[in-house]
A = this chain, B = another copy of it.
Amino acid sequence: MNGGQARPTIKTICAMTGLSTATVSKALRQSPEVRPETRAIVEEAARKVGYSTNLHGVQLRTGKTYQVAILMTTPTSDLVEWEGVEYAQLLSGISHAMEGTRYRVALYPVRDYDEAQDTVRRIIRNRLADGVIFSGTRPDDGRVRLLQEADFPFVTYGTTEAHAPHAFVDSDNDGIIRTAMRRLLDRGHRRIALINPGEHLSYGRTRLATYRDMLQSAGIEYDPALVAHGILTPSFGREQVMIMHALKDPPTAYVCANEASALGALSGFAACGLVHGRDAVINATDDLNVSAYFTPPLTTFYLPITRPAELLGRHILGAIDGVAPERLQTLLMPDLIERSDDRLRASAG
């Protein structure tokens, strides 16, 4: 009956073995209900015809999608500018974590926070995925609320202040700023600028809070003029240096929240005639180990993005499997890589 051309199905194996669909199905899924000898027969037949299960059938019957949705925040059309470059590594890390499973990564591009919420709603409503991953968390995050209400598996890259615990991965921003500030303060810096992401973002909040904390401990008054919030592109870093440099009491150190803004800050140095290490210094947080190639190389907190990425992948699989959220929370402390001393040299003129 079968043309031989068509893709083999469970029925093909039934015809070959004389077994019923139920038995074959169970055998293929290693159910203990089927005798080992029978399973062997089924597996042999499956191997012979090159059977592989048709996901569509499974999906329809079980309602599972075997898709993990990743919300990918993409800048409004043309303003690309090295924004979100780390996404590439993030995506590949997550995908790698799912190798050997049936799960696939499906991309959902969103332009902003509101669109992200809509997308989350759509994913929940239409069961477009079995789990969701997203970044750019806010302390009170609407997406988290939606997903928790729907009891939908998810992992965030970034923390929130949600009442109920949820799975997340993040770098230890408190630890980063604490270490960075202590180091700079030790080296005599008193005017330290913070180049931060948008104000609503959790990690910006955390960084700012710790920054203020460290200033207070050091007995230095907080100056809002030294803190910039914005989209962390090179152009933003550059602008902020140019603005802050024009202050009557300009910063001697810049702590940048990513490598893109650090690169921009360096470009701002050049534009203002500032010399790194003489007039001021820049520290960064780097996911891509790229600040090693800046001129001059910068001191950074380096966490290869593949690490959080793989964890995101593993956590979402866990969340889908019903592992308790408390057990799927990871804070990662980047390594401090001191590429420059960051003590200001005596001005040589």
A residues adjacent to B (C-beta < 8 A): 7, 50, 52, 54-57, 59-60, 63, 65, 67, 72, 74, 77-78, 80-82, 84-89, 91-92, 95-96, 99, 104-109, 125-128, 234-235, 237-238, 260, 263-264, 266-267, 269-270, 288-290, 292-297, 304-306
Inter-chain contacts of A109 with B (CB < 8 A): 91-92, 95-96, 99
* Contact partner, A234, options B50, B57, B290, Cβ 8 Å: B290
Determine how close the nearest CB of chain B comes to the CB of A152; give it in whole angstroms: 14
Inter-chain contacts of A297 with B (CB < 8 A): 267
- Interface pairs (18), CB distance under 8 Å: A54-B126, A56-B60, A67-B104, A72-B88, A72-B91, A74-B89, A74-B95, A74-B96, A78-B306, A81-B290, A84-B88, A84-B92, A85-B88, A86-B88, A87-B88, A95-B108, A266-B293, A267-B292
Inter-chain contacts of A63 with B (CB < 8 A): 56
Inter-chain contacts of A263 with B (CB < 8 A): 290, 293-294
Q: Is the CB–CB distance between B126 and A289 below 8 Å?
A: no
How far, in angstroms, from A161 to B128 measured CA to CA in the complex? 39
* Contact partner, A288, options B81, B99, B293, Cβ 8 Å: B81
Q: Is the CB–CB distance between A294 and B267 below 8 Å?
A: yes
Determine how close the nearest CB of chain B comes to the CB of A261; give it in whole angstroms: 10
How far, in angstroms, from A120 to B296 measured CA to CA in the complex? 43
How far, in angstroms, from A88 to B56 measured CA to CA in the complex? 29
Determine how close the nearest CB of chain B comes to the CB of A315; give it in whole angstroms: 18
How far, in angstroms, from A169 to B104 measured CA to CA in the complex? 26
Instruction: Beyond A87-B88, A234-B292, A235-B293, list 7 extra A-B contacts (CB 8 Å).
Output: A56-B65, A72-B88, A74-B89, A85-B88, A86-B88, A104-B108, A105-B107
Inter-chain contacts of A77 with B (CB < 8 A): 306
Q: Is the CB–CB distance between A288 and B78 below 8 Å?
A: no
Q: Is the CB–CB distance between B289 and A82 below 8 Å?
A: yes
Inter-chain contacts of A269 with B (CB < 8 A): 295
Determine how close the nearest CB of chain B comes to the CB of A241; give it in whole angstroms: 11
Q: Is the CB–CB distance between B288 and A80 below 8 Å?
A: yes
Q: Is the CB–CB distance between B235 and A264 below 8 Å?
A: no
Inter-chain contacts of A304 with B (CB < 8 A): 78, 80
Q: Is the CB–CB distance between B96 and A89 below 8 Å?
A: no
Inter-chain contacts of A56 with B (CB < 8 A): 56, 59-60, 63, 65
Chain B minimum-CB-distance residue to A90: B88
Inter-chain contacts of A306 with B (CB < 8 A): 77-78, 80
How far, in angstroms, from A77 to B307 measured CA to CA in the complex? 10
Q: Is the CB–CB distance between A107 and B91 below 8 Å?
A: yes
Inter-chain contacts of A125 with B (CB < 8 A): 50, 52
Q: Is the CB–CB distance between B293 and A234 below 8 Å?
A: yes
How far, in angstroms, from A270 to B104 measured CA to CA in the complex? 44
Contact A289 to B52, CB < 8 A, known contacts A95-B109, A106-B105: no
Q: Is the CB–CB distance between A106 and B108 below 8 Å?
A: no
Contact A82 to B234, CB < 8 A, known contacts A109-B96, A267-B295: no
